[in-house]
């Protein structure tokens, strides 16, 4: 089965997002290594924060049908370099997490994500309220099935 590789900074909400996509409510734990689960590849946040790991991300992307770049709406910076998605030979989409957090700045998060993902869909999500989760899952499943 094709997979979607999920990339984002430490604490961006990648593992929590994955649990929400699978309809699970228990708390997520810190991802220490690549985790393959059904149609998802969960990556440690350090892989997107440290350029030394970019080669690992690029190699792992050959096992995926798409990349999902995750941006935390409460952060005031992006951990992806400009044009980051262009390093992958597969489609990329984005997700903004924590949109219902009191410190969330959705417009800033979209702007930060657009620096690394100039084109492609961006989905606004909350794993707490499940807002945007069905739409994101529908898009990712469509990619996986194609």
Q: Which of 22, 28, 25 is nearest to 10 (CA)?
A: 28
Residue 27 has pLDDT above 80, yes or no: no
Q: Return mean pLDDT, the chain.
A: 93
Is the pLDDT at 68 greater than 80? The verdict is yes
Q: What backbone torsions phi and psi does residue 39 show, to the nearest 5 degrees? A: -105, 20
pLDDT digits (tens, 9 = 90+) for 72-83: 999 999 999 998
Residue 1 confidence (pLDDT) above 80: no
The values of phi and psi at residue 74, to 5°, are: -95, -5
pLDDT at 10 over 80: yes
Residues 140, 68: Cα–Cα separation, whole Å: 9
Residue 92 has pLDDT above 90, yes or no: yes
Query: 4-145 in CATH: which number?
Result: 3.40.50.300
Residue 31, token pair as written in the block: 């991802």
pLDDT in tens, 35-57: 999 999 999 999 988 889 999 99
């Amino acid at each position: 089965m094709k997979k979607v590789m999920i990339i984002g900074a430490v604490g961006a909400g990648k593992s929590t997002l994955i649990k929400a996509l699978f309809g699970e409510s228990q708390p997520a734990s810190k991802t220490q290594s690549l985790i393959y689960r059904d149609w998802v590849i969960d990556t440690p946040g350090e892989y997107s924060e440290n350029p030394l790991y970019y080669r690992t991300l690029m190699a792992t992307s050959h096992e995926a049908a798409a990349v999902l770049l995750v941006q935390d709406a409460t952060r005031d910076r992006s951990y992806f370099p400009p044009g980051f998605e262009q390093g992958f030979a597969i489609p990329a989409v984005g997700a903004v997490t924590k949109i219902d957090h009191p410190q969330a700045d959705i417009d800033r998060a979209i702007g930060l994500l657009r620096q690394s993902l100039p084109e492609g869909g961006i989905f606004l999500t909350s794993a707490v309220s499940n807002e945007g989760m069905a739409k994101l899952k529908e898009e990712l499943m469509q990619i996986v099935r194609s």
